[in-house]
């Protein structure tokens, strides 16, 4: 597959559809490879007359891995939760937004509609703040503003996410399926989750990368004020059944963005379930068409 480069960071990416159509850049969340944007979902978006680009964030999938020891995530979050200064981290959400811009540069796209899920939504928001001229509109999915007052995870969900994978391929895959069960909504499909977890593990298994990404999130702070200056049209999609970034995170994102539309889906958790793909594609297509 092709690769983009942001300084020393190499980013694996893939495209779908006609490059003459409006470009939709997809940014995935914590520890999730670009394949979490399922290829069939990408093809469905491309069939809706979009040029779709997905990529692996740094420290994930086939993109670059950060050298050195992983940050102490618990110490970072303890500082963040009490308002203490955040220790220096290896990179920031702004750096990850720069990665997204580097992908657009390599693809030859001046301006894209940018859709981000979870941490990817945070990167999308930061991209609109830092690089407004490269963003046509934003789609923030199951994400939040960075404020400690909104979107806080339910204990079972954050506990499942932060539990290290057990040794052994089968056990690690089973753990990923169980995490999906905990954080997904009522449309969770175990068979599809197992297939996705197996393919993801066999493509790239690098759980330490999530610690570096979590450090970037912890250091990102509250974007609410900065989002107030973002003039792009925004679509905010969230699940009423999301236990990892609870609905107030999406509601706060929509409230912070001056030109936003909120789509709250009753059966959506912290996932992109197949039965809702048509809903996502329709909403995104109508949003991009303006």
- pLDDT by residue for the chain (290 residues), tens only, comes to 799 999 999 999 999 999 999 999 999 999 999 999 999 999 999 999 999 999 999 999 999 999 998 888 777 777 777 767 777 889 999 999 999 999 999 999 999 999 999 999 999 999 999 999 999 999 999 999 999 999 999 999 988 988 889 999 999 999 999 999 999 999 999 999 999 999 999 999 999 999 999 999 988 889 999 999 999 999 999 999 999 999 999 999 999 999 999 999 999 999 999 999 999 999 999 999 98
Query: Which pLDDT score, from 0 to 100, does residue 26 have?
Result: 99
Phi, psi of 137 (to 5 degrees): -165, 170
- Domain hosting 20: range is 3-151+210-289
CA atoms within 13 A on the CB side of 226: 18
What integer pLDDT is reported at residue 224 of this predicted model?
98
- Indicate the SS3 state at residue 47: helix
Structure tokens at 141: 């999915």
With respect to residue 225, please indicate whether it lies within any of the assigned structural domains.
yes
In a domain? residue 163: no
Position 97 scores a pLDDT of 98
Using CA atoms, how far residue 35 sits from 15, 40, 54, 198, 231, in Å, is 12, 10, 8, 12, 30
Residue 203 lies in a domain: no
Please tell me the predicted confidence (pLDDT) of residue 75: 79
Specify burial of residue 289 (Cβ count, 10 A radius: 0-12, 13-18, 19+): exposed
Residue 192: inside a domain, yes or no?
Answer: no
Q: Looking at the DSSP assignment, which residues form a beta bridge with residue 55?
A: 13
Q: What is the pTM of this model?
A: 0.96
In a domain, 43, yes or no: yes
CA pair distance 44, 259, nearest whole angstrom: 27
Residue 194 belongs to a domain: no
In a domain, 101, yes or no: yes
Q: How many separate domains does the chain show?
A: 1
CATH number at residue 217: 3.40.50.1820
The answer to whether position 158 is within a domain reads no
Confidence (pLDDT) at 50:
98
């Amino acid at each position: 597959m092709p690769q983009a480069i942001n300084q020393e960071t190499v980013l694996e990416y893939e495209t779908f559809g006609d490059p003459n159509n409006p470009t939709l850049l997809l940014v995935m969340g914590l520890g999730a490879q670009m394949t979490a944007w399922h290829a069939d979902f990408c093809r469905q978006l491309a069939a809706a007359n979009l040029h779709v680009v997905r990529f692996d964030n740094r420290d994930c999938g086939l993109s670059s891995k950060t050298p050195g020891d992983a940050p102490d995530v618990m110490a970072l979050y303890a500082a963040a939760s009490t308002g203490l200064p955040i220790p220096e981290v290896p990179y920031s959400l702004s750096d990850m937004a720069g990665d997204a811009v580097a992908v657009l540069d390599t693809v030859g796209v001046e301006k894209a509609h940018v859709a981000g899920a979870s941490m990817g939504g945070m990167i999308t928001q930061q991209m609109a703040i830092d690089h407004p001229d490269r963003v046509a509109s934003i789609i923030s999915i199951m994400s939040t503003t960075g404020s400690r007052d909104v979107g806080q995870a339910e204990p079972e969900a954050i506990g499942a996410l932060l539990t290290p994978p057990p040794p052994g391929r089968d056990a690690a895959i089973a753990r990923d399926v169980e995490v999906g069960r905990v954080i997904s909504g009522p449309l969770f499909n175990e068979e599809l989750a197992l297939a996705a977890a197996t393919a993801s593990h066999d493509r790239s298994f690098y759980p330490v990368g999530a610690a570096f990404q979590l450090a970037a999130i912890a250091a990102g702070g509250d974007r609410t004020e900065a989002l107030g200056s973002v003039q792009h049209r925004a679509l905010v999609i969230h699940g009423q059944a999301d236990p990892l970034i609870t609905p107030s995170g999406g509601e706060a994102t929509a409230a912070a963005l001056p030109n936003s539309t909120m789509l709250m889906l009753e059966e959506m958790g912290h996932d992109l379930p197949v039965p809702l793909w048509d809903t996502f594609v329709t909403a995104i297509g109508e949003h991009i068409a303006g």
